[in-house]
Structure 1
């Protein structure tokens, strides 16, 4: 990176930190109301008060990055939930946050449900994690900013076929001996004894494959929901003067990335009243 690029990046980081300092004093819900904003988060999403405060704190950091980064930035799903609730407070969002704190309009836009868009969001999410660390000097907390995983290449053989091949290797010589012995006995008129050997060999083969199947497919405990981070963000945002500020995916789920990155935000973007 050139010296000019370093200076530019340092300038953006300083501006993000300045905006973050202002955000820390922000009050979305007017003082004296029955429930503050983090209590509303707890009620809306079933979070503990501690988790609601932590996610809200990370949301403020996301706002600082989104309003100063000249490229796509991507929040996690939990941070996006905070963003959705904030957007419902339209007066504060559009009359206080954007003009007086961020000094730019930060829009929430739906992303496209396509493989290409999913890859774009995932790359942007990884870049957001790097921008976070460069700006705030610390690693984003995994419980709120889940890390995308790398999908491993498919094995050459399906798992079931591969486990069967591995199971047959140790007993192959024994099966060959049994077959030769059975043929020899049958040629001498000892058909019943030959049949017994064949049946025993088949039983041994079936038992070996069954044990191999159990070893490859152990009983799995049922998934338990917890109060940790969710998988990934799925909508997008953009600020005036920036390219995109889009949100995408960290991961936790079935295969390596959990779910595809990028589905549309519900209920439109920026809608709703106070």
Structure 2
């Protein structure tokens, strides 16, 4: 890091998201909403600060991991802490969370941004980002089918690794072979067919390339404005002077909008 970057990082690292006077801390809310342990939550918050630092110093795209993105989403709802305490008073920049436009082009762009974010991380912090927070590209852009669920009303039951369609097919095949065995007395045939099917399904489900293509281009990134210089791009709210660090330009909206998967549009208003 340069001398200026070291000073900036020290300021960001010292920034506290938890309000000592609050009965329900930011970290506690974040842990509850994501089902995280307290220790893991604190680690993700630290990675979020590193992401904000990278947003401030890079002229190219920066995309967070999904856990880091969840910290960002929540922090954006604490508007005074985010826009005033962090953006205005700590870093002197507005860091905007922009929505993806979707599609194959966006998917490729964010995959590239995510890779460059991890390269920048290594360059500035002298170590690789933790793998349990900064997941690999394939997981980052495919494991994104999230919905808000009231756990007080609904049970959450983990799905088996085998998909429902393949499980149904397997059950029907077993039923058919059982019928064949009962009718024709062929136990070895039944066992052979079941073994082949089970092995085939297992190999497909464990394929690391399964679901690799992200058609939606879901992701998130940042664009900045303020004291950090002009990189010739625009961001939310019609301001200019920031760099394109996220979803590829101005969405044309202000205020807050909802979330879908990991491509989430946050507050796009001003920084005051």
Normalised-by-shorter TM-score class: 0.5 to 0.7
* Contact residue 80 and residue 233 of structure 1 kept, 8 A: no
Write out aligned runs for 1:106-255 (5 A): 106-149=95-138, 212-218=196-202, 234-240=219-225, 241=230, 242-246=242-246
Looking at CA atoms only, which structure, 1 or 2, has the larger radius of gyration?
Answer: 1
Q: CA deviation at 1:142?
A: 0.6
Q: CA deviation at 1:74?
A: 0.5
Equivalents in 1 of 2:26, 2:12: separation in Å? Answer: 14
Using the size of structure 1 for normalisation, the TM-score is: 0.58
Q: CA deviation at 1:92?
A: 1.7
Taking CA–CA contacts closer than 8 Å with sequence separation of 6 or more, which of the two structures ends up with the larger relative contact order? 1
> Paired residues, what number?
186
Is 2:31 aligned against 1:47?
no
Q: CA deviation at 1:91?
A: 1.2
Q: Deviations over 1:23-72 (max 9, x none)?
A: 22212343222132211211222211011101001001001111111111
Q: In structure 2, do the counterparts of structure 1 residues 62 and 31 end up closer, same or farther at CA, with 3 Å as the change threshold?
A: same
Is 2:33 aligned against 1:34?
no
- The match for 1:258 is none
Equivalents in 2 of 1:18, 1:127: separation in Å? Answer: 23
- The match for 2:155 is none
Q: Which structure 2 segments of 5+ residues have no match?
A: 140-187, 207-216, 231-241, 249-260
Using the size of structure 2 for normalisation, the TM-score is: 0.59
Equivalents in 2 of 1:31, 1:215: separation in Å? Answer: 55
Equivalents in 1 of 2:33, 2:114: separation in Å? Answer: 25
Q: In structure 2, do the counterparts of structure 1 residues 236 and 219 end up closer, same or farther at CA, with 3 Å as the change threshold?
A: closer
Q: CA deviation at 1:235?
A: 2.2
* Contact residue 79 and residue 144 of structure 1 kept, 8 A: yes
- The match for 2:57 is 68
Q: In structure 2, do the counterparts of structure 1 residues 83 and 247 end up closer, same or farther at CA, with 3 Å as the change threshold?
A: farther
Q: In structure 2, do the counterparts of structure 1 residues 233 and 136 end up closer, same or farther at CA, with 3 Å as the change threshold?
A: farther
Equivalents in 2 of 1:38, 1:211: separation in Å? Answer: 48
Equivalents in 1 of 2:202, 2:58: separation in Å? Answer: 47
Q: In structure 2, do the counterparts of structure 1 residues 233 and 18 end up closer, same or farther at CA, with 3 Å as the change threshold?
A: farther
Equivalents in 1 of 2:247, 2:5: separation in Å? Answer: 18
Equivalents in 1 of 2:62, 2:263: separation in Å? Answer: 16
Equivalents in 1 of 2:19, 2:117: separation in Å? Answer: 31
* Contact residue 107 and residue 218 of structure 2 kept, 8 A: no
Equivalents in 1 of 2:48, 2:247: separation in Å? Answer: 12
- The match for 1:59 is 48
More helix as a share of residues: 1
More strand as a share of residues: 2
